[in-house]
Every structure is written in C-alpha cells, then in structure tokens.
Structure 1
Amino acid sequence: MAPNGLFDLRRVWRAASYSVSGLKTALANEAAFRQEMTLFVLLAPLGLWLGRDGVERSLLVGSLVLVLVVELLNSAIEAAVNRIGNEPHELSGRAKDIASAAVFLSLLLVALVWVLVLFDRFG
C-alpha cells in the first residue's frame, strides 16, 4: 500500500506525537489549562459514577473534555497573536477576548449540564 494511503500508520503516529507534545506544552506553560485539567481529573470519575447511563455519563464527562479542547484553542490563539507582536492592537485584543469568551461559555455549559443531570437524578 502506498505511504500516502488511507492507512498510513506513520502519519498517524506523527500526528499523535504532535498531539502529545501539545498537551505537554499546555500543561507546562498554561496555568488555566492546568487548573481545568485538575477540574477534569477530579470531576470525570465523579461524572462516570453519578451518571445513570451512557448518555448521562457522556454529557457529564464530555462537557469537561470540551472545556479542555476550548482552552487548548484559546491558548493557541493567544500564542499566535503574541507571536505577531506584543504591542496593543484592537484586533489582537478582540481575538483574545473572543477566545476567552469561548472558554467561559464552555465552563457555563459544564455547570448547566451538571445541574440539569444531577437535578433530574436527585431533585
């Protein structure tokens, strides 16, 4: 099979190694990502335990994973904007604020999902 085929395992391996490198970089350099990862480590097992079925478990844990994904994107946007320059610029500020708002909304989603699922279970 050609190396550029659908099942090019070398490409998959390289992509996975880049992803692991990105996670390590975020953990080493991004305080917000470390905080949200701590939240995930604490709450994910609780979500798996509290969820009554696969749907509830996936909502509880999946909302936590979404926060990590959005924070990684936020950090990437901030790094790219900072690479362009440190001088204040309206568009740089706008990009950072919008990315931060995405993180905020993902955290609100966690709260909403957990309240709704747990209220349905215990309320």
Structure 2
Amino acid sequence: MAKAPQRHRARWRHEVASFGYAIQGIREALLSEPHLRFHALATAVVVALGAWLHVSRHDWALLALAVGAVWAAELMNTAIETIIDLVSPDFHPLAGRAKDVAAGAVLLMALAAGVVGLLVFGPPLWDKAVALNGHP
C-alpha cells in the first residue's frame, strides 16, 4: 500500500523537474539566439502598447496567442537547427532545406502575429493620432 503514494510523489517530482528543464531550454535559447532576443523585445513592446491602449481581454487573448505562437515557432526552429547541426555538421542540401523550412515557419508565424498586432493596435492608435491632430 505504501508504494502507490511513493510512486505518486516520484512522478510529481519528475513532472515538476520537467518544468525546470523547459525553463532552462528557454533560457539557453534566449542567451544563444539573437532572433529570440528580438522576439523578447517585441513581446515587451506588445505588452507595453497593450497596457497603454487599454486593450480588451479579448484582444489580450489574441495578442497572447500570437506572441506565444511566435515564441513556440522560434523555439522549435532552434531545436530543429540544433539537431541538424548535431547529425549533419557538414553541409548537406537536405539539412539546409530543413533549416530553411523551419525558419520559414517562424517567418510565417511572425507575419501572422504582425497582422494580429495591426488589427488589435491599428484602430486605437489611429484614434489617438486623430485626437492629437485636433480632429474629433
């Protein structure tokens, strides 16, 4: 009977540790990947702009999904590039193709996130610009 709670605790510790590994992976990627640092800066700008414009909860949800998708795509791209560098340290056309496709996925997601940003921030920024120019 005592084995079940011990197994449960061991599993729980393993699950908690896996979060630590995930956070470590994000940290390592931030330290080694300039594009991810750019995404971190862009995330800070999105959060600051959203706070300044007092966007709705719905808009925050859209922004969070867009930002999270870009981060996830960039992290997957980094993982793919790392694996390719491990298994194919010399140039190979298929390795290059895989890297290009993974980078293309990041670009596509970043463009989609940009569209979300324009749709969410465009109207309130336009309203502020019009108000600054003295128009009703």
Please report the TM-score for the alignment, with normalisation by the length of structure 2. Answer: 0.78
2:67 is the counterpart of 1:64: yes
Q: CA deviation at 1:41?
A: 1.8
The whole-number CA distance in structure 1 between the counterparts of 2:17 and 2:27 is 15
Q: SS at the partner of 2:89?
A: coil
CA pair 94-4 structure 1, distance change in 2 beyond 3 A: farther
Q: When the two structures are aligned, how many residues end up with a matched partner?
A: 123
1:46 is matched with which residue?
Answer: 49
Structure number with the bigger relative contact order (C-alpha 8 A, sep ≥ 6) is: 2
2:116 is the counterpart of 1:117: no
2:36 is the counterpart of 1:30: no
Please report the TM-score for the alignment, with normalisation by the length of structure 1. Answer: 0.85
The whole-number CA distance in structure 2 between the counterparts of 1:3 and 1:26 is 35
Once the two structures are overlaid, the 10-residue window that deviates more, 83-92 or 112-121, is 112-121
For structure 2, the residue ranges without an aligned partner over 5 or more in a row are 128-136
Q: AA paired with 2:29?
A: A
2:77 is matched with which residue?
Answer: 74
CA pair 114-8 structure 1, distance change in 2 beyond 3 A: same
Contact 1:64 1:110 in 2 (8 A): yes
Q: CA deviation at 1:51?
A: 5.5
Percent sequence identity over aligned pairs: 29
Contact 1:81 1:92 in 2 (8 A): yes
Task: Give the alignment partner of residue 107 of structure 2, picking from 85, 104, 107.
Answer: 104
Contact 1:27 1:33 in 2 (8 A): yes
Rg bigger for which structure? Answer: 2
2:89 is the counterpart of 1:86: yes
Q: Deviations over 1:27-54 (max 9, x none)?
A: 1111111111111122223224436422
